[in-house]
Structures are given as structure tokens and as C-alpha cells.
Amino acid sequence: MFEATLIKEIFAVVFHPEGEFVDPRESAERVFVCGSLMDPAFLSGRIGRAAAMVPATARGHSRGWGEADGKRFHFLREDAEGTTQGMALLGLTGDDIRELEKFEQVPEVRRRADIEICVGDIVLSGITYLANK
């Protein structure tokens, strides 16, 4: 079961497993996702556990479509005029991130990239996965 916790100082709501609140300002890593990984059940199927997340916006990025191994997929790409809504995953371990990178097919299809994301009223640093050029 997930709980929702409002952080009034930054006007952000964190969705997290019961009793496992993670403040996005204090999370060691913030991983911006904008597709299937925003679904808590899908995410837990990839990393083997539930994880905290917060709505986030990536300015300067947009979604695109591509193909790899005969399958269509969507991806995040740099776009100076773009704005993409998604979630920032919080409180992930190194093992969790390795599992995400397998799912994202790093480095064959996507690459890990630093990103700035808007969470509530603040901007935080994070990482995401962009399509290879």
C-alpha cells in the first residue's frame, strides 16, 4: 500500500510505500522516468520492490519514438522547447539502478545522462536515460 505525503515547503507530494517516506531533496539519486516505470507495479516488477516517487517535470526534453531489435519504444530526448511530465524515483540503491539500466538497455539503446528536474517549486539534479543518437 502506498501513502502520499505533502511537503508543504516545496509543494510536492511524494508517493511512497507505507512508512518509507523519502524527501526528494535528500535522496542520494533522483531518476527521472516518463513511461512505464511511472507505474508502481511495473517498477516493482523490474527492481523487486516498491519505491518512492514524486511527480516531476523535465524542461528542455520531449518524448520521441524509435525502434530497436524490431520493437517500437518511446524515449526521452533533448529538445530546447520541450517539457515532459514524469516521475522522479527516490531512494534507489545501486542494485535498483543497475536493474533500471538493464530495462532501459544502457548502453545499446539508451545512455545515462544528468538532468535538472522540477519537483514542486524547486529544481533538483537527477539522472535519466536518453535515446542514443
Domain residue limits, the chain: 2-131
Angle between helices 94-103 and 40-47 (to 10 degrees): 110
Q: Quick one: CATH architecture of 2-131?
A: Roll (3.10)
Paired residues of 59 in beta bridges = 83
Q: What is the DSSP letter of 37?
A: G
Buried b (16+ CB within 10 A) or exposed e, 22-40: bbbeebebbbbbbbebbeb
pLDDT values of the chain reduced to their tens digit, one per residue, 133 residues: 899 999 999 999 999 999 999 999 999 999 999 999 999 999 999 999 999 999 999 999 999 887 777 878 888 999 999 999 999 999 999 999 999 999 999 998 899 999 999 999 999 999 999 988 7
Rounded CA-CA distance 8/31 in Å is: 22
